[in-house]
Structure 1
């Protein structure tokens, strides 16, 4: 049987385990039989009140017979636990997974496996009524079929969120970046400005505004060197001329800025560029490079540079002086305007839905699994208070279907989100640059509404439909073939009234 998330595998069993517990309490205490007593009293008293005693007895007997059959049918089909469900036979298939394999409970590879064991779930399995076992199987199959039909796209928000929130955790690496800025980048920029060096037309102007500038790597970085020894770079007598090998040979050498950045001459071949790239989640960075390279035609190395630029831009306050990278070629007034714009941009970014949407996406399956667990667990009381009415089966079935169908709605919203971002913001991958904030807010509000409002609207709509269907079934059992006609008439009158009041 398929479910919609890893957590739902375990909470499904726990919900039905609590269902069994609550139903057993109702049966053991005798409360489960109170609706039958109420049915007998109601069917005896009401006919006597409305008819003569002689006619009332026949009516009472007929009503008691009909209601008894209906209530026992509900008990057997939808209330009494019978079929076994266990997290071992529940599985989850991740959408757009290259492997496409269904993962069963206990072998998901998540921490859920060690947290939700048979001991914590109250046993190895739970019992489920026949009707609800069928409902779960059908809805799970429908969800899987619908999600598989949605074209697969990369999760752009997840990629962006992972890269934008990467930070340099190694204090030694932070220190190296600061020294590289002081010894290499600042020196190279001063040489460029003071000597009026010609800038090639084949390089973008923004190439100068970051540490790994190709113009500097092919120019000043070739001769400029670190002012102090850098760990991992071996001593080179042809380069480190300040040391007399007959007197002292240092453990580490002072690489040129090009070597320092690329790792040429490093014991492990790791330069500053690669060390910074290693601070970003490897999976997110690989997906980011492949996706952007495929959609834009840019080399993967250039796309990786974009991710490193983003990492450095997010760490500007930690790297003393790096926040001034974009101000070398600007006038003082422009600098002030740029600073004000950056402040406003940071405020807008903090107010953006971007991280909020990521959090909503992460929380959505958890919320869905918890809601379903509560529905399963509390269902005995629902049928008990409703006196085991057949119409309530349809109503609750639609509720369960609607909540489980949230997964499909979220898959549609996720597909729309990724395609809207690439259609409206084709340069979304330039994460360190301020893009059109209005466009971002429009997309965020639309997708945020889809993730939050659409499932609630969907569930409310189907709940109303379930009520109408349940009422129709009740009318059929009570009034024969006149029931559907009366239900349709009432529905039409209700629609006319709503239209006349301006509600539709």
Structure 2
């Protein structure tokens, strides 16, 4: 038995432990046999209602009772009685897709779910034969379909990780604000006053405090220095002449302050990213290309405000929410364009993270209530078919999410890749604008919501309808045999009524 997520890895076993406990209660109290009693009583009453021309009622009732008991016994044997043992060590976390796409995924024992896994302490559960086979078949089919999808880049997931990284160190956050005030704002002011017109490349480059233009062009970051002492750099008489030696450090140039290989602000800000986020970004952007799009968001005014920085800088930043772009954004929110898209967009990334958890919880719920459902249905085979279709549909949803993720990557590549090629993004690095964006166009996000929510919902609805129809075939067959009998009886009644009316007419 395999699992596709850490939470499912734990909840599948927990569900079967609770399933075993529920079946134990039903079997120990004898309640499991109550539907059999009612089924036998129902057959007996039905035989009594039949006419005398049906023959010996005892011989007629016996095979029907045997048939009902034998079918129920087989259902109990294969679908209710736990037979195949399974524990946390025999459930396998399926990492085939991660290996196929070159992604490093830790095992559940080495993840944050280690505490949940260890809570079982070697406790085992037992699974009925049919559900064990159904689990293997469903997971095998799902994984085979997922393996046929080309590997995606998970761009939206990377943006989710980047945008959820905050500058938690208040000292570092204050230093970012100091750098923006003492270096970036001064350099930007000089740029505007010394040039009559700027090229597109320059405009795109100077939109953030770590601008390559300010770093590599003379008379900007190499000329300006920190206006307050910095402990990371000792006081230098030749460089810091004119500044007081307070004993709290020197006054490095803005270029050194940002780019120093050992204690530079750039290196210390990058350290805020987790190892997993860093590895994913390096996998997508070889070398150091990933650093600029990640840093653009981390030192942006919006993220500084989210990190608790209070009043943030906004001079020359493309992230500024004032001006024409900010007014349009507020207008869009005010009139509710695109079905309140401005309010819905931040939830898409969170929705993508929550859906597999909901899937695992629903799977656990179905597993737990299987004994109750089987008992209340009097162990009817059509109940097995309906539950089997429900479990298969629920597990196959993973394929639809993988497909949706791959299609989403293609849409993002088309949108932001073309922006970089046309020079209208914030950087020459591909997808740089994507990591600082929170709105990708309302049409694109409506399509994304449909792929992650409507696709699985429509799939479950279709398969559920098919399961109910197939599960009802047995009752439909019996109804098909009953229809000629009812039709014959109805025709006899009509013929009898016609004959009586004819006799009455002749007498008159």
Give the TM-score normalised by the residue count of structure 2: 0.80
Q: TM-score, normalised by structure 1?
A: 0.80
Q: Please say if residues 161 and 355 of structure 1, whose CA atoms lie closer than 8 Å, have aligned partners that are also in contact.
A: no
Change (3 A) 1:26 1:342: closer
Question: What pairs with 1:8-407 in structure 2 (closer than 5 Å)?
Answer: 8-52=8-52, 54-94=55-95, 95-97=97-99, 107-119=108-120, 124-194=123-193, 196-197=194-195, 203-217=201-215, 218-219=217-218, 220-242=220-242, 250=247, 252-263=249-260, 269-288=262-281, 290-291=283-284, 293=285, 300-301=288-289, 303-311=290-298, 312-315=300-303, 317=305, 318=309, 320=311, 322-326=313-317, 336-337=323-324, 339-341=326-328, 343=330, 351-407=342-398
- Equivalents in 2 of 1:467, 1:74: separation in Å? 18
For 1:305 and 1:420, locate their aligned partners in 2 and report how far apart those are by CA, in whole Å: 22
CA shift at 1:306, angstroms? 2.9
Asked whether the 8 Å contact 2:167–2:304 carries over to 1, the reply is: no
Q: How far apart, in 2, do the equivalents of 1:255 and 1:239 lie? A: 8
Distance 1:470 1:351 in 2: 44
- Counterparts of 2:195 and 2:446 in 1: how far apart (Å)? 47
Q: Report the alpha carbon displacement of residue 87 of structure 1 after superposing the two structures with TM.
A: 1.6
Q: In the alignment, is the contact (CA less than 8 A) between 2:17 and 2:125 conserved in 1?
A: yes
Contact 1:178 1:320 in 2 (8 A): no
Tell whether the 8 Å contact from 2:109 to 2:117 is kept in structure 1 after alignment.
no
Aligned residues: 457
Distance of 1:229 and 1:304 partners within structure 2: 27
Change (3 A) 1:204 1:75: same
Change (3 A) 1:300 1:48: same
Distance in 2, matches of 1:112 and 1:228, equals 46
Comparing 7-16 with 196-205, greater Cα deviation is found at 196-205
Deviations 1:303-345 (A, max 9, x none): 5223222222324653756213249xx9xxx975355246557
Q: 1:341 to 1:198 in 2, by over 3 A?
A: same
- Which stretch of the first structure deviates more once superposed, 337-346 or 215-224? 337-346
Structure 1 residues 325 and 346: CA distance shift in structure 2, 3 A: farther
Structure 2, unmatched stretches of 5+, are 420-430, 485-508
Cα distance in 2, alignment partners of residues 100 and 159 from structure 1? 13
Preserved CA contact (<8 Å) 1:285 1:307: no
Q: How many Å apart are 1:467 and its aligned residue?
A: 1.8
Alignment check: 8 A CA contact 1:177 1:319 kept: no
CA distance in 2, matches of 1:163, 1:433: 9
1:445 is aligned to 446
Shift of 1:173: 2.0
Alpha-carbon deviation of 1:198? 7.7
CA distance change for structure 1 residues 59 and 355 in 2, over 3 Å: closer, same or farther? same
Contact 1:226 1:257 survives alignment (8 Å): yes
Cα offset, 1:165, TM superposition: 3.2
The Cα of 1:430 is off from its aligned counterpart by 0.3
Q: Give the aligned partner of residue 501 of structure 1.
A: none
Give, in whole Å, the separation in 2 of the partners of 1:346 and 1:277.
Answer: 33
Deviation at 1:405, TM superposition (A): 1.0
Structure 1 unmatched runs, 5+ = 487-504
1:428-443 alignment, distance < 5 Å: 428-431=431-434, 440-443=441-444
SS of residue matched to 1:209: coil
Measure, in 2, the Cα distance between the counterparts of 1:199 and 1:74: 81
